[in-house]
Amino acid sequence: MAVTTCIFDAYGTLFEVAAAARIAAKEPGREEFAAKWPQVAADWRAKQLQYTWLRAVSDTHTDFWQVTQDGLDYALEAAGLATADLRKRLLALYFELAAFPEVPKMLKQLKKDGLCTGILSNGSPEMLGGAVKSAAIGDSLDKVLSVQSVGVFKPHKSVYDMVGQHFSCQPDQVLFISSNGWDAAYAAHYGFHTVWVNRAQDPMDRLPSQPSYSMPDLTGIPELAASI
């Protein structure tokens, strides 16, 4: 069955999560942070994801904004940079994340080809709304779906169920794209065609399923969607 719907993870896939730390590091008076921002960004992202998994398996759900703050607090303390001013600035910048350069053109091509497009993310509705607005890609998205609707983080099955419920499609009509190998793998296990956007050229996670395809960026998504 042909693909009718392209669904994207948000953070790290459409939006560059390290941008907040990189931008703050270039601001006057942040020389100490500038020396450590790559590690802060990496720790922030790692803890953000780890906390979603732990909350999912322990049935202690909260919204992604709380998880994002918790991850940042850990990262700043680990770097010896736990100041209120820096924390406030980094959190503000998270609502202004830039899209990767190829994203606007890629999404417009999918819409031109007659495909439905959407986001399926752990992000809270407010966070996702801010990122979509900042990146100016709202006109190229049919729906922005947040796990807040089901009260559990990825990769729980009920999260992937949301796609069929909102787009009235079967799993094999969906091309799901994520920069998280584990997300693409479990979406493949669910029944989606999946793409792992492996920008860092990381090794494949050892999981029960694997992504259907791997790409270095999102440029080839329209061509792939048309070929399935």
Active site residues per annotation: 9
What is d(CA 120, CA 160) in angstroms, rounded to the nearest whole number? 8
Give 151-157's long-range contacts (Cβ < 8 A, gap of 24+): 151/61, 152/56, 152/61, 153/52, 153/53, 153/55, 153/56, 153/61, 153/64, 153/122, 154/52, 154/56, 154/122, 154/183, 154/186, 155/182, 155/183, 155/186, 155/187, 156/56, 157/190
Looking at residue 2, what DSSP letter applies? Answer: -
What is d(CA 207, CA 204) in angstroms, rounded to the nearest whole number? 9
Structure tokens at 62: 């909260």
